Amino acid sequence: MKLPIAIFLLLFTTKLFSQDLKTLVPVKGYSYDFGIEVQNDWKKRNQLLDDLENGKKSWDSLTDDENKLFEKYDETFESMWDVLGAGCSWYCGAGDYTVTASSELSSNGKINYNSKNLTDFSYQTSWVEGTKGYGIGDFINFNFNPSHPRVTSLIIANGYVKSKQKWKDNSRAHKLKMYIDNVPFAIIELQDIYAEQIVELKNPLGHSDRNDFDKLKEKENWNIKFEILSVYKGDKYEDTAISEIYFDGLDVHCLAKGTQITMADKTLKAIENLKVGDKILSFNRETESYEISVIRELASQYHSALVNLRFSNETEITCTKDHPILLNNTKWSSINPIKTEMDYQINNVVKLDLASKVKSLHNHLEIVEICEVAGVKETYTIVDLDKNDTFIANGIITGIERLRFPTEGQSSIQISK
């Protein structure tokens, strides 16, 4: 009777475990195409960029076909292998994490297949497990420091995506068991498609209490682990490959510490000292008048890849490249309009450049200098107001950033000087 009892217990615990563990099915994202036609398009696009830089062409003189080429292959990308462009993204303030794997296929002398390939933001490289067979039971582990921005999306480039043939030749992950802090969290059931796959999480992962960064840093690191449960078999090799796993999320915002915010009574207050409930001056874009708004939510995070904008009255503001700034004609503008439209869900954003005329509290100002800011800075933003979507930072009218996963009762911050 021992064997039937053992089998019963095994089936019972397996059923109980599977009922508790949810299945996440990703949605299809960007389809991969690194073929000859695309390579030729990239050559044309790169030549156009050289001509623009050397003054042989101007942005205003581009033909419709040339503009479409830039729409298809964003100028912020250096090559067709780039997973992310140079425009500001969640990784402007995130990405300070490490990745390890349970095994790695040995290098062939020219190409390596180690775990770092999972985080190099290149479709040209791939992690390949090094266990005999299909790598069932092998895992990838991402380790985050306690103050790292929270994660809300997982984006997976499954298989060796460098070419369609390599993708077919090598095995691809089918089911991944996902762990949070080494506790089983979900089963990710990947499709066998030559495209990125996106998992949107219901609740953010990471430490949610972000009001006191000193206390936040004292908390323990947290991790996300992916274990291979099953695979789609390759046509030529057993080896299972994953080219890239990257993330999107919260807590990465727009302006640097020290920026002065215009309050309701026209006094100034450093953004890091703002509190929920404070009354500030905002601009109603419909009536083109100033109104008093109450702060409902604030947020803060350390940030890199910022730019410093200097205006004709010597005012300066430091912000991310996608941060919206209001022009004198009340249109939104930014250094990276495409990214702004994606992140802020704003339409028809204009490119912010030298000589752009922006709206300030008293008159319009021109941008006279744009400089990259090196290093990591503490940044802040206003997330929500009771009315309007603007606030005044260092005298410049700028936009709020609504979080996609607002945390009830959250009171954190971000801005610049």
List the CATH number of the domain containing 171: 2.60.120.260
* Domain around 276: 255-399
Least confident of 77-86, 112-121, 156-165, 325-334: 77-86
Segment 16-62, tens digit of pLDDT: 444 589 999 999 998 999 999 999 999 999 999 899 888 898 878 88
Q: Is residue 107 part of a domain?
A: yes
More confident residue, 42 or 372: 42
**Co-location of 241 and 292 in the same domain:** no
- pLDDT at site 169: 98
Segment (H or E) for 241: strand 240-249
Instruction: Say yes or no: 232 and 270 in one domain.
Output: no
Average pLDDT over residues 190-200: 96
* 3-state secondary structure (DSSP) of residue 336: coil
Predicted model pTM:
0.66
Q: Give domain status of residue 48, yes or no.
A: yes
The rounded distance, in Å, linking the Cα atoms of 177 and 154 is 13
Domain boundary among 217, 249, 281: 249
AA identity, residue 274: L
Strands 22-24 and 183-189: parallel
Q: Domains in the chain: how many in total?
A: 2
- 3-class SS of residue 66: helix
Residue 319 lies in a domain: yes
Same domain, 216 and 289: no
Backbone CA torsion sign across 67, 73, 74, 76: negative
Of 30, 79, 19, 224, residue with least CA distance to 139: 224
Q: What is the distance between the alpha carbons of residues 403 and 382, in angstroms, rounded to a whole number?
A: 10
Residue 410 pLDDT > 50:
no
